[in-house]
Amino acid sequence: MTVNTEQTQQSNQPLDGLKVIDMGQVYLGPYCGLLFGFLGAEVIKVEGPGGDPIRFQTRAGENPAAMMLNSNKKSVTLDLHDDTDRAAFLELVADADVLIENFRPGTMERLGLGFDDVLHSLNPRLVYGSGKGYAADSECHDAPAMDFPIQAYTGLMAVTGFGDGPPVKSGAAITDFMTGVHLYGGILAALHERGKSGMGQKVEVAMQDVAHHALASNISGYILSPDNFVERAGNSQGVLEVTPYDIYPASDGSVAIMCLVDRHWASMARAMGAPHLATDPRYEGNIERTRRRAEVDAIVSAWTGVQTRSEIFAALNQANVPSAPVRQISEIARDKDMVKRGMITEAPHPELGSVPVPGSPFRFSRHANTKPRRAPAAGEHTNEVLGRGPVLDSASNITSDITE
């Protein structure tokens, strides 16, 4: 683990003492709960009898993604259509600080567990966080929403890809994760307010709204110049006139390079051993360079193509020019530097031996980050949390904790 060097360290965490019921499914809700867990809250993942659907999205065994999203949580399986289980659930909620859910709209109400009618009266201090695809007042509020269609609907796809090709989604489920952290943020704001009013409330965040906000630079470009707007510019700049700005060949892959301002170009010219390019009037200023983009890109490619990504990255870091190797998932999945920093640790997996799981993205000066506890099997803590008796045998196949 990384050791924070500032201030006196404490082994406690900023959200110690909070109790969170995490009914999240797949990515959005569970990521919200994961952040609470990183920060010291007690997070109880309440799953249906079959468990969070993400657990079974693969052909063989537990989905590694389920383990990545549910570190530090306890798991309780409950059939909320069953009276005994429903009563147990209400008992959990009665002294919880937070409830997280990202079900389809109306699901909690159909279960007789709506915030307004039931949960708020049961526990007036409860902060109820609801993650949705479309907002309750959206014209699409009843449309089934997942990351992929939301990327389409909001314009995230429209701006991604090459101008001569189709729109393409981000390969990561970005609207799920972005909305999960916004939901966490909305809940924290409500907890802050509860500190003054003593009252909980409901907070809702919709994927469609969060995605829209992330498009500010693209919308800005369109507003500024609707007729000349380049919607998709591949890896170059559609909105601004900036050159070089692209990925360039290396001997072992490719490298992203951007010369946002002219001093980047001057510095890069020196790094390329061609300082005269910095003062050549043909390449002076981003507007001139963008006009001669093909020429400039050829000059850059001739320099990058014969070097490794690491060599280029080192030279351009030295020159203070923004660049980075384009890395593959095989390189980042267990990236050594991330492991060294405690941002990736290994959790045991029944079939795969172990699975890399993420650490807290927050670094506090007065709290040291701790190693995540492995994600529970579905229902592993049902009896412990509900005080029902011995732990089920079915969970006993996973006993060890996360190892470094």
- Residue with Cβ nearer its own copies (123 or 154): 154
x-marked contacts with its own copies along 326-365 as a string, rule CB under 8 A: xxxxxxxx---xx--x-xx-------x--xx-x--xxxxx
How many CA atoms, within 13 angstroms, populate the side-chain half-sphere of residue 222?
A: 10
Q: Which one among 58, 279, 396, 403 touches its own copies, defined by CB under 8 A?
A: 58
Amino acid at 42: E
- Residue with Cβ nearer its own copies (199 or 302): 199
Which three-class secondary structure state does DSSP give residue 139?
coil
Q: How many Å from the N-terminal Cα to the C-terminal Cα in the chain? A: 9
- Does the annotation mark 137 as catalytic? no
Q: Which one among 44, 69, 119, 315 touches its own copies, defined by CB under 8 A?
A: 69
223 binds its own copies (CB under 8 A): yes
Question: For residue 204, is it left (φ>0), alpha (ψ between -120 and 50) or beta?
Answer: beta
- Cis, peptide link before residue 166, omega less than 30° from 0: no
Say if residues 38 and 396 touch (Cβ distance below 8 Å).
no
x-marked contacts with its own copies along 21-40 as a string, rule CB under 8 A: ------x---x---x---x-
- Residue with Cβ nearer its own copies (139 or 393): 139
- Residue with Cβ nearer its own copies (68 or 269): 68
157 binds its own copies (CB under 8 A): yes
Q: Which one among 255, 268, 300, 378 touches its own copies, defined by CB under 8 A?
A: 255
Dihedral sign, Cα of residue 254, residue 315, residue 267, residue 270: negative
231 binds its own copies (CB under 8 A): yes
x-marked contacts with its own copies along 91-120 as a string, rule CB under 8 A: ------------------------xx---x
Identify the H or E element spanning 258. Answer: strand 253-258
Minimum Å gap between C-beta 90 and its own copies is 20
305 binds its own copies (CB under 8 A): no
Q: Which one among 55, 99, 113, 184 touches its own copies, defined by CB under 8 A?
A: 184
270 binds its own copies (CB under 8 A): no
Closest by CA to 24, choosing from 81, 106, 83, 103, is 103
Q: Which one among 96, 210, 269, 375 touches its own copies, defined by CB under 8 A?
A: 210
φ, ψ (nearest 5 deg) of residue 143: -80, 140
φ, ψ (nearest 5 deg) of residue 255: -135, 135
315 binds its own copies (CB under 8 A): no
Neighbour tally for 189: CB within 10 Å: 13
Minimum Å gap between C-beta 328 and its own copies is 5
Say if residues 124 and 199 touch (Cβ distance below 8 Å).
yes
Stretch that binds its own copies, among 75-83, 85-93, 158-166, 374-382 (CB under 8 A): 158-166
Q: Which one among 111, 135, 386, 391 touches its own copies, defined by CB under 8 A?
A: 135
φ, ψ (nearest 5 deg) of residue 100: -115, 135
Which candidate in 97, 176, 246, 297 is catalytic?
A: 176
- Residue with Cβ nearer its own copies (303 or 364): 364
48 binds its own copies (CB under 8 A): no
Say if residues 242 and 259 touch (Cβ distance below 8 Å).
yes
Separation CA 44–CA 382 (nearest Å): 10
166 binds its own copies (CB under 8 A): yes
- Residue with Cβ nearer its own copies (95 or 116): 116
Stretch that binds its own copies, among 275-283, 324-332, 371-379, 394-402 (CB under 8 A): 324-332
DSSP alpha helix (H) spans, 198-335: 207-213, 216-224, 262-271, 276-279, 286-291, 293-304, 309-318, 329-332
Beta bridge partners of 349: 353
Neighbour tally for 104: CB within 10 Å: 13
Task: List active site positions.
Answer: 176
